Amino acid sequence: MDFYYPNFQNDMWRIFGLVFFGDKDAFLLDPRHFDREKLEGFLREKGIAVSDTAVRVRRLRGNASDQFLEIVEKIDFAGVLERIPDCRAIMTAGEKATATLLSITGSALPGLGGFVEFDHAGRHMRHYRMPSSSRAYPKPLPAKAEVYTGMFRELGML
The predicted structure's pLDDT at residue 104: 94
Q: For 13-29, write each residue's pLDDT tens digit.
A: 999 999 999 999 999 99
The predicted structure's pLDDT at residue 55: 87
Instruction: Tell me: pLDDT of 85 over 80.
Output: yes
User: Could you tell me if residue 103 is inside a domain?
Assistant: yes
User: Could you tell me if residue 114 is inside a domain?
Assistant: yes
Collect all residues with Cβ–Cβ distance below 8 Å to 126 and sequence separation of at least 6.
88, 89, 90, 115, 116, 117, 118
User: Could you tell me if residue 2 is inside a domain?
Assistant: no
User: Could you tell me if residue 28 is inside a domain?
Assistant: yes
- Burial of 89 (C-beta count, 10 Å sphere; 0-12/13-18/19+): middle
User: Could you tell me if residue 7 is inside a domain?
Assistant: no
- Across the chain, mean pLDDT equals 92
Domain that holds residue 139: 12-154
Instruction: Tell me: pLDDT of 1 over 70.
Output: no
Q: Using a pLDDT cut of 90, give the percent of the chain over it.
A: 72
Residue 64's pLDDT band, with cuts at 50, 70 and 90, is low
User: Could you tell me if residue 59 is inside a domain?
Assistant: yes
The predicted structure's pLDDT at residue 5: 85
Collect all residues with Cβ–Cβ distance below 8 Å to 45 and sequence separation of at least 6.
none
The predicted structure's pLDDT at residue 34: 94
Query: If you write DSSP's letter for every residue of 66-96 in order, what string do you get?
Result: GGGEEEEEE--HHHHHHH-TT--EEEEESHH
Instruction: Tell me: pLDDT of 113 over 70.
Output: yes
Q: Is there a contact between 128 and 115 (Cβ–Cβ < 8 Å)?
A: yes
How far is the C-alpha of 146 from the C-alpha of 152, rounded, in Å? 10
**What is the helix (H) or strand (E) element at residue 17, kind and residue range?**
helix 12-21
CATH of the domain at 92: 3.40.470.10
Relative to beta strand 115-120, strand 123-130 is antiparallel
Instruction: Tell me: pLDDT of 155 over 90.
Output: yes
The predicted structure's pLDDT at residue 65: 66
- Structurally, how many domains does the chain consist of? 1
User: Could you tell me if residue 118 is inside a domain?
Assistant: yes
**What is the helix (H) or strand (E) element at residue 40, kind and residue range?**
helix 36-46
For the chain, helix, strand, coil in percent to 5 are 35, 25, 40
User: Could you tell me if residue 6 is inside a domain?
Assistant: no
Torsion sign over Cα 112, 131, 79, 153? negative
